[in-house]
Structure 1
């Protein structure tokens, strides 16, 4: 099997389902989230009204814009908890059997979010980004494979 990286980012990419913008909602603590992006961006804030505004936003792009706005203060521990928040969201999203099969079907290939803009979650424009989203998806893939 190939060990070539799998790049994902836009709707036209073969593995777009791995993207946080992909339209796969989930329930967490009795609340439905339309995408991972909605959930992730809302968790930056303690203000329940702002979190709800993000949850109800019209799509992941708007959710991201609301989450990146600094009209409301973000939680002081965000840098510490953001990866745990992300893996929690991914675990919820990938409870769907079809998404589990897709992720497990990637074998051991590296997963790379090909965002030219994000050097933390993605690979960045020149590929030197930390690709934390890809690494967390690989971690989840290992967890799913181990649980059989």
Structure 2
């Protein structure tokens, strides 16, 4: 009787191992799926070792998939490196009302100016940083704070519409949250990383533009 029970237990264990193998086999990548089930070898100890190895492969593959999913959905925290193109300082030439702008920063800062000459000087500034500094010194249009988001959005539309490669890069960000994290204390257009405070208005406008059908 004892030998019979031992035999049944061994058969049952082998059945469980085989079920684990089939489960593992079905979840593996196509390369591993080509391995036939009869590849199981005779020794039970060797079977355990083989199934354990294959289960580890399954776990590793699933972990890679999870990491990939997390990265796809992770927010873009700063407009730098691969995402520098989201910055207003990124080269993105376009013409608006017969005036050439090399970046959206030039466009935005120029529209602060009341005087036409100031407008053109800012538009022709050698760098976006220079345009920003000049925009802070000129006479500003009435109720600028009321209209500034509209101006920013129009500039973003032209930036991406006139530069198809940037448009595709924006689309490729998928559904990820866009956050202009910064260290210079801009709490309106971005989020100050020193305090984790900010309205992130530039990020929101970019996400609106990205989400509109044919918006860019």
TM norm. shorter chain > 0.5: yes
Structure 1, unaligned runs of 5 or more:
none
The correspondence for 2:107, drawn from 39, 46, 55, is: 39
Contact 1:7/1:15 (<8 A) preserved: no
> Taking structure 1 as the reference length, what is the TM-score of the superposition?
0.90
2:158 match: 92
Counterpart of 1:52 (choices 117, 120, 138) is 120
Structure 1 SS opposite 2:117: helix
Alignment of 1:9 onto 2:79: yes
Structure 2 counterpart SS, 1:134: helix
Any conservation in 1 of the 2:113–2:139 contact (CA below 8 Å)? Answer: yes
Q: How does 1:1-148 map to 2 (within 5 A)?
A: 1=69, 2-10=72-80, 13-69=81-137, 72-95=138-161, 96-116=163-183, 117-125=185-193, 126-143=195-212, 146-147=213-214
Greater RCO, 1 or 2 (C-alpha within 8 Å, sep 6+): 1
Shift of 1:120: 0.3
Paired residues of 1:112 and 1:131 also in contact (CA < 8 A)? yes
What is the number of residues matched between the two proteins? 142
Measured in 2, the distance between the counterparts of 1:25 and 1:133 equals 19
Tell me the TM-score normalized by structure 2.
Answer: 0.63
Moved over 3 A (4+): none
- Greater Rg, structure 1 or structure 2? 2
* C-alpha deviation, 1:4, in angstroms: 1.1
8 Å contact from structure 1 (residues 111, 138) kept in 2: yes
Cα-Cα RMSD: 1.4
2:79·2:85 contact (CA, 8 Å) conserved in 1? no
Contact 1:94 1:100 in 2 (8 A): yes
Provide Cα deviations, 1:61-110, integer angstroms capped at 9, x if missing partner. Answer: 000001112xx321112000000000000000001211111001011100
- The 3-state SS of whatever aligns with 2:179 is strand
